[in-house]
Amino acid sequence: MSPLKGKNAIITGGGRGLGKATALAFAKEGINVAITGRNEERLKQTVEELTALGVKATYAVFDVVDKPAVHTEIAKVIDFLGGIDILVNNAGISEFGKFVDMPADRWEEILLTNVMGVYNVTREVLPHLIQQNEGDIFNVASTAGLNGNPTTSAYSASKFAVIGLSESLMKEVRKNNIRVCTLTPSTIASDMSIELGLTDGNPDHILQPEDFAELLVATLKLPRRAMLKTASLWTTNPV
């Protein structure tokens, strides 16, 4: 089992939902955490919860599409943490609609956020991991990136791309002892899923953000010789 206490992590989209649950789970393991997002109030509140668990925690406000901001802010949080070991590319947006009805600019926004956002943040973190010859990257895709469905064309296209990016990167950086894991969860009772009407979030039947976070912690605890390439977390019985 790999020790986690004292490791440093960055989680994008860390102010709520899957990102927040993961940040809290990491902090309970003694991992120092930097979270990013666009809503400063949510980020501040989450950082207060993290520091209460006894770890170093900070936040950065930026849009993952904004390359100059990503460059500046990622450097700042890495400096604050004193290094970086773990990256969770969780930030993303979603909208569903018929192919001919969704405006082109919204299509483009979903692709830029979900795909280029992963690229932009990883591009800033990866050199540090390569230099220290070790690290972990989690890229959050979706079951929508495994199979397309009516009205999911934009979201599915973006998540198919994340899977391709992630699996290619995994094969590229294994030699640097960097583990890249592609996550393809089904519907989780996150803020986004509930707002989109995908689930009522019933904890008796539907995956919760804490379940997702538990998977990431367990993956990090694997011996360094072992790497989880992909993981698809499903609700057992959605009823």
| Residues belonging to the active site | 155
Mapped onto helix, strand or coil, the DSSP state of residue 199 is coil
Burial of 173 (0-12, 13-18, 19+ CB in 10 A): middle
- Identify any residues that bridge with 75 across adjacent strands, giving them in sequence order: none
**Token pair 């790999």 is at which residue?**
2
- Measured in whole angstroms, the distance separating CA 66 from the mean position of its chain's CA atoms is 17
Q: For 132, list phi and psi in degrees, rounded to 5.
A: -90, 0
C-alpha to C-alpha distance for 98 and 153, rounded to whole angstroms:
8
* DSSP 8-state symbol, 106: H
Helices (H), the chain: 17-28, 40-51, 67-81, 104-111, 117-132, 153-173, 191-195, 209-220
Percentage helix, strand, coil for the chain under 3-state DSSP, each rounded to 5: 45, 15, 40
Task: Work out the angle between the directed axes of helices 117-132 and 67-81 (0-180°, nearest 10).
Answer: 40
CB 206 within 8 A of CB 234: no
CB 110 within 8 A of CB 94: yes
Distances (CA, A) of 224 to 4, 129, 132, 196: 12, 14, 14, 38
